[in-house]
Amino acid sequence: MRWAGVPGPLNGMKVIDLSRVLAGPYCTMILGDMGAEVIKIERIDTGDETRGWGPPFVEGESAYYLCANRNKQGVTLNLKTEQGIEILQKLVLDADVVVQNFKPGTLKRLGFGYEEMKKCNKGIILASISGFGSNGPYSHLPGYDYIIQAMSGLMSITGDKDTEPVKVGVAISDVLTGLYTCIGILGSIQHRNMTGEGQEVDISLLDSQLAAMVNVASNYLCSGQVPERLGNAHPNIVPYQVFTACDGDFVISVGNDQQYRKLAVLLEDQSLLSQRYVTNAGRLQYKDELVNLIAKKIKTRSRAEWKLLLDVAGIPNGPIHNVKEALESEQAASRNMVVDLKHPIIPDLKLVGSPLKFSKTAVKIERHPPLFSEHTDEVLIKLGYSKSEIQAMKQNQII
């Protein structure tokens, strides 16, 4: 928990969130967790699409929407109207960051792109998220996580060798893009601190996922060999996969030769100490036969027995938890990775906590994911609009 009276590391920063779905909202949620004031702008008709992505719903709020929108104020605004753009301009005047994930060029067509923004706020940072970036033959196409997982090569390496390509179980390309966008914003803030100038950050889902292919991409670039699906095995390290004990599955991850020697001794099989297995390169070359030897030994004990033995030996391992087991584990509880949050209509709202642990300016989760248009009146009053003007804007479908 945050030290009493100590603001978050981004306290004083104002963020206008024009994004929706996951990548952008995930980014702005992180900024909000670190103390930034985040104003989430939604369409006046449907709002953020994730509001309808369910079940499950809790008191009418979708679990999907709830996962990425805490620590924000919720405002509805029709950006297709002159007055809607006027309100956005006023919000940007003293803002630090704008995050948006319209198709490239949309904000400019609405009359308030980056060039217009910086005329009224020289230091504004515009973080633009799209499927394929602002240039290239695919720049005009919409970007969806599933499509990006397919086009980036991620699905081609996910799943068993003899099955069809498989996507990751969460929208990982969106999550990674949200993280890269957050990094880009923080880098731009440092640039502004030195120069006084803002800039536009152009982040694409495809670029983000390609960058996150890390060693698999490097394997291809260095060898010219196209990586294949390996199921739960690792392309560069052995043994590093799922093994089956007498009562279920768990993972062993041997990261170096010293750990392997400890494993070989623990398994009490002299054949595992053969010269061909001494180095990781040798283990990779003779992978199939080595894995078969290890698998036979692993079947002789339970997961709990192996967990104890492997932990004592210092060999990385872990049981395969379902989501319930993971979130309700003692480790998750000790790290405050499930938090209770007060909500106006949901009695017992629980959300996944923040992984950011600061010693002095820790994150503070104090705003519930806003109800649809919950803070529109409050925000507009702060901008100087009267109650009668706000009522007229509602009647004219401006807000």
Residues 115-139 have pLDDT tens digits of: 999 999 999 999 999 999 999 999 9
Token pair recorded at residue 359: 């010693």
Of residues 96, 145, 174, 207, which has the active-site annotation? 174
Q: Are strands 248-253 and 14-17 parallel, antiparallel or unpaired?
A: unpaired
- What average pLDDT score do residues 74-89 get? 96
> Taking the model in full, what pTM does it have?
0.92
The pLDDT tens digits of the residues spanning 229-241 come to 988 888 889 999 9
Cis ω before 56 (30° cut-off from 0): yes
Mark whether 174 is an active-site residue.
yes
Cα 36 to its chain centre, rounded Å, is 18
Radius of gyration of the chain measured on its C-alpha atoms: 25
Confidence class of residue 2 from pLDDT cuts 50, 70 and 90?
very low
Measured distance CA(29)–CA(37) in Å, rounded: 10
The residue whose two tokens read 């109207």 is: 81
The pLDDT tens digits of the residues spanning 345-381 come to 999 999 999 999 999 998 999 999 999 999 999 999 9
Residue 378: count of CB within 10 angstroms of its CB = 11
Q: Which pLDDT score, from 0 to 100, does residue 198 have? A: 97
Residue 223 in this model has a pLDDT that exceeds 80? yes
- What average pLDDT score do residues 164-169 get? 95
The pLDDT tens digits of the residues spanning 238-288 come to 999 999 999 989 999 999 999 999 999 999 999 999 999 999 999 999 999
